[in-house]
């Protein structure tokens, strides 16, 4: 007969191999032998989390900590789940406990800083982030959060100095290189690199939906509404084939599924696509750069939607031309970008957030040059950031 330790090891191996059902059976077998085994309970919490059952995951973690209360990583995981389920006070307390038990674990300090920032305690948040920077290992998240915090407080020079230090510690980090370009006065790149986008969103994927939910993120709702309006203008009940370009975790999928005979999603981040697949809305999901993908599917789609993906492009000629090639004649292209609304604004610029903003005149001109008829460009609020509205354009063009 196998020991509980052997069953636990086998369950962990199954989980790491992606065999979730086998892992669950193994963890439950351990618990029949040892009902309070904190590792088996934590394993079930992970499985519940991956299945989208965050409240069930919390219950398993609470049981695990009742059995073994001095595991800092478990407290950090619990805090994260509290935060994602709208319980910030409990989340902050859990993160605080995690830093006490595992002071060398930078993520807990970053999470605690995020709670303080959300409370408006910017000085306290800065202190926690600087404490995170003393921990061993790569510190991209702490450097990025500190850079953004300083920038949002109007401390531009301090933000730039933080990025300089970040590059010195992690010279190969694509996120550090991109943020250095965003804060520099030198000419920025014409678009964010594929390496930056993939690295950034792979790291962001687990928290993506929860974070954007707290920011009142509206881009999926806006593009879905615009696609529905485009369908009504052409008197169709559904487009036979629709592309969600830069689909991320698939937030647009449930909102547009009824308008699509077939719905295809493309994204650079495999981890984001993992969550998009779980929604069950897409007929095909592809990990690829969206411009290359669209050029590989000439006249394959009746409509293309793109929620906040073109904010990682400065010059839009290339992606819009690729969208034109992928659309059938008369097909609508619906997308959002962040808006540059200053008088005499440049065509596009890389903002200190690491995203590009675009002027309305540039959007109109580039759409026409790319073979589109401009149907509408409307100024909208896309989300909140640092307690301020982020202005963007909701754009609808049609392949002429």
Q: Are 75 and 65 a contacting pair, CB within 8 Å?
A: yes
Domain with CATH 3.40.50.150 in the chain: 210-399
Q: Please give the share of the chain, as a percent, with pLDDT higher than 70.
A: 100
Q: Please give the share of the chain, as a percent, with pLDDT higher than 90.
A: 85
Q: What is the pLDDT of residue 214?
A: 84
Q: What is the pLDDT of residue 174?
A: 94
Taking Cα atoms as reference points, which of 202, 140, 142 lies closest to residue 172? 140
Confidence of residue 20 (pLDDT cuts 50, 70, 90): very high
Rounded Cα gap, residues 75 and 91, in angstroms:
9
Q: What is the pLDDT of residue 73?
A: 96
Confidence of residue 358 (pLDDT cuts 50, 70, 90): very high
Q: What is the pLDDT of residue 13?
A: 92
**Right CATH for 210-399 from 1.20.1090.10, 3.40.50.150, 2.40.110.10, 3.40.190.10:** 3.40.50.150
Confidence of residue 52 (pLDDT cuts 50, 70, 90): confident
User: Beta-strand (E) ranges in the chain?
Assistant: 239-245, 260-267, 284-287, 303-306, 332-339, 348-350, 356-358, 372-385, 388-399
pLDDT for residue 341 is more than 90: no
pLDDT for residue 236 is more than 80: no
Residues 6+ apart with CB under 8 A from 58: 45, 78, 81, 82, 85
Angle value at C-alpha 346, between 345 and 351, nearest 5 degrees: 95
213-218: long-range pairs with CB below 8 Å, 24+:
215/383, 215/384, 215/385, 216/383, 216/384, 217/251, 217/382, 217/383, 218/380, 218/381, 218/382, 218/383
Query: What number is the average pLDDT over the span 357-373?
Result: 97
Confidence of residue 51 (pLDDT cuts 50, 70, 90): confident
Please give the biggest Cα pair distance in the chain.
77
Task: Say whether 19 sits in a helix, a strand or coil.
Answer: coil
Confidence of residue 137 (pLDDT cuts 50, 70, 90): confident
Confidence of residue 2 (pLDDT cuts 50, 70, 90): confident
Average of per-residue pLDDT values in the chain: 94
pLDDT for residue 235 is more than 90: no
Query: What number is the average pLDDT over the span 197-216?
Result: 90
What is the tens place of the pLDDT at every residue in 323-333? 999 999 999 99
Query: What number is the average pLDDT over the span 47-76?
Result: 95
Residues 6+ apart with CB under 8 A from 211: 204
Tokens of 180: 């250095």
Residues 6+ apart with CB under 8 A from 191: 312, 313, 314, 315, 356
Q: What is the pLDDT of residue 342?
A: 78
Confidence of residue 282 (pLDDT cuts 50, 70, 90): very high
Confidence of residue 142 (pLDDT cuts 50, 70, 90): very high
What is the tens place of the pLDDT at every residue in 75-120? 999 999 999 999 999 999 999 999 999 999 999 999 999 999 999 9
- Please, is 204 exposed, middle or buried when counting C-beta atoms within 10 Å of its C-beta (0-12, 13-18, 19+)? middle
Q: What is the dihedral of CA 21, 253, 216, 107, to 10 degrees?
A: 40
**Right CATH for 4-195 from 1.25.40.10, 3.90.226.10, 1.20.59.10, 3.40.630.150:** 1.25.40.10
Q: What is the pLDDT of residue 207?
A: 86
Domain with CATH 1.25.40.10 in the chain: 4-195
Confidence of residue 388 (pLDDT cuts 50, 70, 90): confident
Query: What number is the average pLDDT over the span 171-199?
Result: 92
């Amino acid at each position: 007969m196998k020991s509980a330790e052997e069953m636990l090891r086998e369950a962990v191996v199954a989980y790491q191999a992606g065999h979730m059902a086998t892992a669950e059976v193994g963890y439950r077998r351990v618990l029949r032998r040892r009902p309070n085994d904190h590792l088996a309970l934590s394993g079930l919490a992970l499985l519940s989390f991956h299945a989208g059952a965050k409240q069930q995951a919390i219950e398993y973690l609470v049981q695990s900590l009742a059995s073994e209360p001095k595991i800092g990583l478990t407290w950090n995981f619990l805090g994260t789940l509290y935060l994602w389920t709208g319980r910030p006070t409990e989340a902050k307390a859990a993160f605080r406990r995690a830093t006490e038990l595992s002071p060398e674990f930078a993520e807990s300090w970053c999470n605690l800083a995020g709670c303080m920032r959300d409370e408006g305690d910017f000085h306290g948040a800065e202190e926690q982030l600087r404490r995170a920077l003393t921990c061993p290992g790569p510190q991209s998240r702490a450097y990025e959060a500190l850079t953004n915090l300083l920038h949002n407080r109007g401390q531009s020079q301090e933000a730039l100095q933080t990025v300089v230090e970040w590059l010195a510690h992690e010279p190969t980090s694509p996120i550090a290189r991109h943020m250095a370009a965003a804060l520099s006065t030198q000419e920025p790149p014409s678009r964010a690199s594929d390496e930056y986008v993939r690295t950034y969103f792979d790291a962001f994927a687990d928290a993506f939906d929860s974070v954007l939910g707290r920011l009142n993120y509206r881009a999926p709702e806006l593009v879905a509404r615009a696609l529905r309006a485009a369908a009504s203008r052409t008197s169709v009940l559904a487009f036979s084939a629709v592309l969600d370009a830069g689909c991320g975790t698939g937030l647009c999928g449930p909102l547009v599924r009824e308008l699509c005979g077939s719905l295809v999603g493309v994204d650079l981040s495999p981890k984001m696509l993992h969550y998009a697949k779980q929604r069950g809305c897409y007929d095909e999901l592809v990990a690829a750069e969206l411009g290359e993908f669209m050029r590989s599917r000439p006249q394959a789609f009746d409509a293309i939607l793109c929620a906040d993906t073109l904010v990682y492009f400065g010059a839009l000629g290339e992606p819009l031309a690729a969208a034109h090639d992928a659309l059938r004649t008369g097909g609508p292209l619906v997308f959002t970008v962040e808006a540059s609304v200053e008088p005499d604004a440049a065509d596009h610029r890389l903002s200190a957030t690491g995203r590009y903003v675009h002027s309305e005149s540039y959007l109109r001109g580039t759409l026409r040059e790319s073979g589109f008829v401009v149907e509408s460009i409307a100024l909208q609020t896309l989300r909140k950031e640092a307690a301020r509205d982020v202005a963007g354009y909701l754009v609808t063009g049609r392949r002429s």
